[in-house]
Amino acid sequence: MRAGDDVMRAWKGRLVFLSGLLVAGVVVAPGALTAEEKVPPLLSPGGPIAGAGGASEESLSRIEGSKVSGVTRCLYDLNLGLPLAGRLAKVAVTEGSAVKDGTLLAHLDIVAEQLDVERRQLQWKNKAELTASEARKATTEKQLAAAREIFAASRGISREEVENRELAHSVALAEHERLVNAEKMEGLDYRIARENLDRRSLRSPTRGIVTKVFKQTGESVQANEPVVRVCDLTRVLFVANVPVSLVGGLAEGDAVELEVGEGDKPKSVRGRVLFVSPVVDAASGLREVKIELSDSGQEVRPGLPARIDLGKPGGGRML
């Protein structure tokens, strides 16, 4: 019995030791996590402004005294996709291609849809039944008029014959109306077929340059998945998030002067305020400002850093 008691005491000691290790692990772990999870400040002097994840305009903005740095980007920088899923039968552009409004960029398989459009068009343009109906209506109308005239003048035909001709004319009128409505329906079917065909083709909604081709001919795409990226280089924006104290009287339409580029000799560029957000971000105390640059195209490339000095007389505005 004594030997059995010794064994039990030994096992109890081991259990107490293991329980102590588990408790120590639970206590230490939260401290280790807390030490690793440090939240960066919203606004670092002379550093990037923390905000949304990724390379957003807010995260790329910098504030150095009265100078606010931001990014330049295309006014229209579009990731374009198709509203339908399918296989790309053709990608008609390459990176660097210049496109206009309506230029074909890519399309899915369209053979079946093209055939359906042709069939609907033939049905819509076939006027044989409607033409025959119009002739039948005119004939029954003349026959009814003649029958009524004879019946009224000499009773040369029976009233039953007159009624039969009235019925024939009514049937001809109803058939003509049915065919007129059928023609309208065929026209709508043709337009629907054209729309279904157009939905399988991706066209540029604006002029610009193809800056990225995400998918190639033969690849499958999902609905609204980006296929091509188009950027309009003729209109470039400067976007920055500005402290409320520096916005001052900056208003939409004001002419301003900015510095674009890196190095000791940035380029001086004029611009016009396009948008000053009426809302202040509660977390950072900033307002979004968008300025359209006047000297765009070949002289200012989207993506270059730029800055505006809001501490100058007029708050950066052209005086």
Reply yes or no on domain 80-109+202-231 having CATH 2.60.40.10.
no
Cα gap 58→72, rounded to integer Å = 12
Q: Is 260 left (phi over 0), alpha (psi -120 to 50) or beta?
A: beta
The one-letter code for the residue type at 38 is: K
At 176 the pLDDT is 95
- As a residue count, the chain comes to 319
The position carrying tokens 């339908």 is 84
Would you state the pLDDT for residue 14? 58
211 with 145: CB under 8 angstroms?
no
Give the strand pairing for 208-213 and 98-99: antiparallel
What per-residue confidence (pLDDT) applies to 108?
Answer: 97
Taking alpha carbons only, the member of 77, 97, 30 closest to residue 205 is 77
Strands of the sheet containing 201-203, edge to edge, are 201-203, 104-108, 86-91, 220-221
- Taking Cα atoms as reference points, which of 10, 50, 101 lies closest to residue 285? 50
Domain ranges of the chain: 57-75+232-309, 80-109+202-231, 111-198
pLDDT of residue 267: 82
d(CA 230, CA 302): 13
Q: Which two tokens stand for residue 222?
A: 């999902």
State whether the Cα torsion 267-273-274-277 is positive or negative. positive
**Per-position pLDDT tens, the chain of length 319:** 455 555 556 555 555 555 554 444 444 444 444 433 443 333 333 333 333 334 444 445 667 667 888 888 888 899 999 999 999 999 999 999 999 999 999 999 999 999 999 999 999 999 999 999 999 999 999 999 999 999 888 888 899 999 999 999 999 999 999 999 999 999 999 999 999 999 999 999 999 999 999 999 999 999 999 999 999 888 888 998 888 888 877 888 888 888 888 777 788 888 899 999 999 988 888 999 999 988 644 467 888 888 888 876 555 554 4
What pLDDT, on a 0 to 100 scale, did the predictor assign at position 262? 75
Contacts of 147 (CB under 8 A, 6+ apart): 157, 161, 162, 165
CB atoms within 10 A of CB 135: 12
- Cβ neighbour number for residue 307 with a 10 Å cutoff: 21
pLDDT value of position 92: 96
**What pTM did the predictor assign?**
0.63
Class of domain 57-75+232-309 (CATH, top level) = mainly beta
Quick one: pLDDT at residue 23? 44
